[in-house]
């Protein structure tokens, strides 16, 4: 089925255009004194519609020889031969209908009350020059139809290719996001289990509490890992379990200050976004300080943007590059994959502290 015949409305409009063309052709015959209006219309209207369907068959010619798989010479040969064949077919139909239509018109005139019958054996007088001109016009119209269908098919192929590319990019993005958001540092689990093992003989109550917090953390991690977005409040609750485990490990060395505005709590963010940032703050900051320090997390909404700031102390004598590598780079890459240029993540190393900022567009659950 061609693009024209695939829709009833489109087909009706297409036939209407060719009928208008048939009326124009009949007017040309009348002005050239080749026929009267009645026989001119009887000839031109059916032949115009027939030429329209012949021109529509160009779709199959273009589809059988794909544009990207043929050369210039092949295009010229195929288009030229098919145009000549279509014009010849239409000319033969015109010749036959010119005689047969006159007979039908004569019979209709004989059956009418007036008894008037046409005196000519043909509908339209057809000198050789007129016949050749009609043949050329038909061939030209078919050639134009070929070019239009060629462009149409090329556009369809381009849209299909773009659709396949978009689906491939989406699948690749989903795979990348899935990989990045499940990159939980295994050292956290190993260190937690080692701490539980050590606490078992020294402080059974602390070991039990650490086990429960660790179980709650991983239970909630599994619950959110398959979701595309979760509320910031759920992410903070997950981080609270993580920090509870770390506070048992580090004792009074680790202090936290978490402040989240009510509006920020409802903002949707990718799961497991803040936990790696807090882990980075502890692993590369508080852990190396004898007296420990306070990790702060502040989140608020301003003008349709979510601002998250994480700050932690660092050892002034430590190398500036420590703690700003793969983990944070993976988070930044994940945000770029999900939000593009709408998200921003940056960090600054000061002499005695490390500051991290994340800015995301606000999204809320429907």
**pLDDT score recorded for residue 116:** 43
**pLDDT score recorded for residue 162:** 84
Higher per-residue pLDDT: 202 or 117: 202
Average pLDDT over residues 125-138: 91
CA 357 to chain centre: 31
Average pLDDT over residues 30-57: 91
For 55-82, write each residue's pLDDT tens digit.
998 888 888 876 666 777 888 888 899 9
How sure is the predictor about 113, in pLDDT bands with cuts at 50, 70 and 90? low
For 223-282, write each residue's pLDDT tens digit.
776 678 899 999 999 899 889 988 988 889 999 999 999 999 999 998 888 988 998 899
The answer on pLDDT for 126 being more than 70 is yes
Per the listing, tokens 């529509």 go with 56
> What are the C-alpha distances in Å from 304 to residues 299, 334, 361?
13, 21, 6
CA pseudo-torsion sign 270, 274, 275, 279: positive
**pLDDT score recorded for residue 173:** 60
Extents of the domains making up the chain = 8-177, 182-361
- CATH architecture of the domain covering 182-361: 2-Layer Sandwich (3.30)
**pLDDT score recorded for residue 12:** 92
- What is the pTM for the complete model shown? 0.53
Which helix or strand (DSSP H or E) is residue 306 part of?
A: strand 305-313
Per the listing, tokens 């000839």 go with 43
């Amino acid at each position: 089925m061609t693009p024209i015949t695939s829709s009833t409305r489109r087909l009706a409009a297409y036939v209407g255009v060719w009928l208008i063309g048939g009326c124009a052709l009949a007017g040309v015959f009348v002005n050239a004194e080749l026929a009267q209006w009645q026989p001119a219309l009887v000839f031109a209207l059916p032949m115009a519609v027939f030429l329209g369907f012949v021109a529509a068959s160009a779709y199959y010619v273009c589809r059988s020889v794909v544009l990207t798989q043929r050369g210039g010479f092949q295009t010229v040969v195929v288009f030229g031969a098919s145009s000549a064949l279509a014009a010849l077919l239409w000319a033969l139909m015109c010749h036959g209908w010119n005689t047969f239509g006159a007979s039908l018109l004569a019979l209709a005139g004989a059956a009418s009350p007036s008894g008037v019958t046409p005196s000519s054996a043909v509908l339209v007088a057809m000198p050789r020059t007129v016949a050749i001109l009609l043949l050329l016009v038909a061939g030209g119209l078919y050639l134009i139809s070929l070019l239009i269908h060629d462009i149409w098919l090329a556009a369809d192929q381009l849209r299909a290719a773009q659709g396949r590319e978009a689906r491939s990019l989406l699948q690749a993005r989903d795979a990348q996001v899935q990989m990045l958001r499940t990159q939980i540092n295994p050292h956290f689990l190993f260190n937690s289990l080692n701490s539980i093992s050590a606490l078992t003989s020294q402080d059974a109550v602390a070991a039990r509490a650490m086990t429960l917090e660790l179980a709650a953390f991983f239970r909630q991690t599994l619950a959110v890992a398959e979701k595309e977005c979760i509320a910031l409040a759920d992410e903070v609750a997950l981080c609270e379990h993580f920090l509870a485990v770390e506070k048992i490990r580090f004792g009074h060395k680790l202090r936290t200050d978490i402040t989240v505005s009510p509006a920020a709590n409802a903002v949707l963010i990718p799961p497991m976004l803040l936990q790696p940032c807090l882990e980075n703050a502890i692993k590369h900051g508080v852990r190396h300080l004898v007296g420990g320090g306070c990790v702060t997390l502040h989140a608020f909404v301003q003008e349709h943007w979510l601002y998250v700031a994480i700050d932690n102390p660092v050892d002034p004598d430590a190398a500036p590059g420590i703690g700003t590598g793969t983990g944070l780079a993976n988070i930044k890459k994940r945000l770029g994959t999900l939000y593009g240029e709408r998200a921003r993540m940056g960090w600054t190393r000061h002499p005695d502290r490390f500051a991290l900022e994340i800015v995301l567009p606000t999204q809320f659950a429907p």
